[in-house]
Structure 1
């Protein structure tokens, strides 16, 4: 099995926060921890540098260098800080066969950033008293291993102990043999539930897409709406995100880049643009644009809509942003969201596409990166390398740094 296919089986997040990382925690509710975003000890200067023409040229050069090193066909980058010039630029091509250029207005698949929307939906139901974060999942969904003990909080915080369905051999074979086939949530859960639980609830951190499939079903059951309809009505419409959607199938609005992957049965590079993303569902199926993700970054990080109204209550948002440490220095994971050296948000990886949407509260800076490949470079996801290179320039005291994981196993 190739390293790339092994990463597909582990899930749709940056490899450095994937299922291999286990951290002991007290059973039950995850305890509060110091903020994970500690500044880099050797760095000095302001939290974010002003994007002068000289700094912008440095970012240009860094993006082009990472493109060359990783073989990324096309990438779009946005950096926004109140009171400073915006940085919005695209590099490379959206289509290798025609040479069509990458552009900032293109739609893109955002993979695991979907988790931030699913968990937001859950937290809204918590605020309405429809569910409780410490309710057992078995209260809402039957047949879940340890369902009487695993809480919704532990599912959202990646501490359930449930096997990640995307690591299952039969799932991998089914997906790669026919990547345009649809999957139902119950089919995805079946791949997970045939495996024994990996540990008791709350004992460890283990990134599992299974958790989000269950939370998506809870949202549907308690709201009476399909998950995509709920997210549209209660999250996207209030936020004014008119170019973000939860697809029902493989539909993909134009304009969009072609996406290139080696997450295939034979490890060869393929065009994954029209592959069906239903295998990610509540964990990874959504589509968005650079500008809409600009809106989403501060919304999910603060719990407030662009007009100042609350998306979720202050008390619930505080629980979301409690990010117990992971084994990675300076990185914590809360309720469907991470904090890496002070940058709050999430990344996404789906065959052919990667994205990174993060927010630095100290300066209200947003960074969004979208690209049209998910092919690893030295066991690093390209989106991580772009984020690292850009933040070394714009926020040297807060470098988005997720180290490479060991070779696939």
Structure 2
């Protein structure tokens, strides 16, 4: 088991932090209720509204949900994990395990963890707000803002958001992953990351396929910073964290990549090389966003869906995030008013699974009929 330490030195620019599997990302804590015990035998402290009459949902069963969460985390060999569930029938905040492998310090729902690509949804929200403000359009060519990008004249902002630009995903580069393993504290600049991406040919012509690429979101972050006239750190604070009262969420300043206390230690099996895989929006804009997810594979309409910086998991809209040592899932079902958040201080499992996503998938099976 590899133990990624907290990177030292100055981090990459803020826009880099939205990238998957790099050493810098947004950090988030739960809503900080009284932290529940991580002991399986101890009760958690959820609020308990009346049982839901929503026919789409199973009756709220706190004990069964906690048992499913614990058993799945144990099966996945996760040192520590936490979950937050809100439904019309009841709410649940629960933590399992410990902050460090072999330790005794329990995980709590107030712990901060790196949330990785969940920040893609943040970046997309800022871009969509800039669209509302008339500063950018979804059908604008990338060349209007970043002319040195390959195929920039033929890639639209929407194709960056929907992962249909064809641009190479720099986190699939073998050399980059070797550096991550040898020097996990290296401060990557956006220029370095984009140079890695651009020395590889595109996967396909713009709009002619789907390929998840962190390069897209780095470009969106840089474009957002230029149009908003401030670092992404400040844009997230002013546009998202402050109005939504997300007091436990942080996007690190460029001068620091430390995780705020309290936080668990993150773990991973193997190395990056060994695990290498190839203001609220108005109703019309939000509807367009929720209508955007399309099948990742055209021949599998029942499979994964991805749209404007947002994915769909059954009835839940949201995103997953992974960085060395941490995995997270956040989803919301607006029709049934269900919110589910899961994080683990392990990524990935010995057999290559994303533990938080796997736990969330198991819980979803218990939440919905």
- Which category of TM-score, normalised to the shorter sequence, fits these structures? 0.7 to 0.9
Q: Which residue of 1 is the match for residue 286 of structure 2?
A: 317
Change (3 A) 1:265 1:91: closer
Aligned with 2:342: secondary structure? strand
Q: Which residue of 2 is the match for residue 329 of structure 1?
A: 302
Counterpart among 188, 191, 204 of residue 193 in structure 2: 188
| Deviation of the 1:332 alpha carbon | 1.3
Q: Which residue of 1 is the match for residue 85 of structure 2?
A: 79
State yes or no: 1:387 paired with 2:344: no
Distance 2:294 2:360 in 1: 22
Aligned with 1:260: secondary structure? coil
Q: Which residue of 1 is the match for residue 330 of structure 2?
A: 357
Q: TM-score, normalised by structure 2?
A: 0.80
Distance 1:331 1:169 in 2: 26
Q: Which residue of 2 is the match for residue 48 of structure 1?
A: 57
> Is the contact made by 2:84 and 2:340 (CA closer than 8 Å) also made in structure 1?
yes
Q: Which residue of 2 is the match for residue 374 of structure 1?
A: 347
Correspondences of 1:128-207 after superposition (within 5 Å) = 128-207=133-212
Q: Which residue of 2 is the match for residue 214 of structure 1?
A: 219
Moved more, 225-234 or 322-331: 322-331
Distance 2:267 2:110 in 1: 19
> Is the contact made by 2:69 and 2:359 (CA closer than 8 Å) also made in structure 1?
yes
> Is the contact made by 2:20 and 2:116 (CA closer than 8 Å) also made in structure 1?
no
| Deviation of the 1:311 alpha carbon | 1.4
Moved more, 322-331 or 191-200: 322-331
Deviations 1:46-79 (A, max 9, x none): 322232xxx2222122122212221001111111
Moved more, 237-246 or 370-379: 370-379
Q: Which residue of 2 is the match for residue 121 of structure 1?
A: 126
Distance 2:239 2:220 in 1: 16
Moved over 6 A (4+): none
Over the residues paired in the alignment, what is the CA RMSD in angstroms? 2.0
Counterpart among 61, 72, 78 of residue 67 in structure 2: 61
- Higher normalized helix content (fraction of residues): 1
Distance 1:191 1:345 in 2: 28
Unaligned runs of 5+ in 1: 1-9, 14-44, 269-309, 397-409
Q: TM-score, normalised by structure 1?
A: 0.72
Distance 1:333 1:117 in 2: 15
State yes or no: 1:257 paired with 2:264: yes
Aligned with 1:86: secondary structure? strand
Unaligned runs of 5+ in 2: 1-18, 23-53
Distance 2:216 2:258 in 1: 25
Distance 1:263 1:186 in 2: 28
